[in-house]
Amino acid sequence: MQMPTVNECQVEACAYNTEHACHALAITVGNSSHAECETFFKVSSKGGDPAATGRVGACKMANCQHNVQYECQASGIVVGYAQQDIDCLTYAPA
């Protein structure tokens, strides 16, 4: 199984975001209330591997149609703002 790629990240303030691309090796999606990108954090410098494209390492959203045993099966995802939250915008209730 291949981890899905983060095709786009619209959250420029994230430490792993450079030019709408995620450079975290793997992100975690989901908490108890919504499909939040739990890897997001804000600092003044950028991090991650500039040669890597971020991937979904774990998804806690068991009620998503792309989730099989807490692994995302989407071909790729988009991370962005859902109102004030930074969420997986590919999340789709099962």
Would the pTM of this model clear 0.85, i.e. be above it?
yes
Average predicted confidence (pLDDT) for the chain: 96
**Each residue's pLDDT tens digit, 67-82:** 999 999 999 999 999 9
Task: Identify whether the C-beta of residue 74 lies closer than 8 Å to the C-beta of residue 8.
Answer: no
User: Using only C-alpha atoms, what is the Rg of the chain?
Assistant: 12
For residue 55, pLDDT over 80 is answered with: yes
Confidence of residue 1 (pLDDT cuts 50, 70, 90): confident
Confidence of residue 32 (pLDDT cuts 50, 70, 90): confident
Whose tokens are 């991090």? That residue is 47
